[in-house]
Structure 1
């Protein structure tokens, strides 16, 4: 199995469990919407930046933002640096979902630590953090 797939399988497991926890807490979002919400800058993001960060087309990002806005998870606000532009910003409703996601991630990481040991999990995190230096253009 290649390294990319070895990275993806645990991530997919984590993502599915986080989505289950969020939905169980009463937040009705799709996986595509959640992936877009993850990429929102706390101060707001331009639609083009959001599409690029989420690796979707501008049209797809616009469609997802429309859905999220209608459901009350985001709002469009004027960009203070450019009067013609708008920013997409998360609402209190979106921020209210974060503790449920974070709690599930904490549980998962505790399970992983129990399975592989603290030293190995720390080494994995350190290695992945180092790899992000050359693989994450949005750092």
Structure 2
């Protein structure tokens, strides 16, 4: 069943949140690939969810909302590129953690430079106070929407 919204219906808040995110995501991916790092959008979306101390594959798959098999495939490619490594989990001998390698940290550094550039552009447009307010509001919404926090 297709639902047709009346013409005067405003764009949903979800879409309004997604559009700037997509813009930033594309800018960061271009910066990373231009910097010589061969990472796909799907790999980047999984990579950005890695915990700094390492993550289990099942946790990554859940956070990225992909199957464990899809996450495993993407991690295999990231590992082959030298961006991540699998190491024993010190809390469970049977489990493995996926950790960012030094090459992966180089990617993070490139991504952060571009992220800060985009955020500075947004702040120039919105002003410092409105940007701070936006951040606080989004952090508040994160508390009830972040799949990584178990919600």
Task: Give the TM-score, by structure 2 length.
Answer: 0.88
Task: Tell which deviates more after alignment, 12-21 or 128-137.
Answer: 128-137
Structure 2: 5+ residue stretches without partners: 1-10
Q: How is 1:1-139 mapped onto 2 (pairs within 5 angstroms)?
A: 1-139=11-149
1:45-86 deviation digits (Å, cap 9, x = unpaired)? 111111001111000001001111111111111111111111
**Rg larger in 1 or in 2?**
2
Once the two structures are TM-superposed, the CA of residue 138 in structure 1 deviates from its matched residue by 2.0
Q: Which is helix-richer, 1 or 2?
A: 1
RMSD after superposition:
1.0
Task: Give the TM-score, by structure 1 length.
Answer: 0.96
Query: After TM superposition, where is structure 1 displaced by more than 4 Å over at least 4 residues in a row?
Result: none
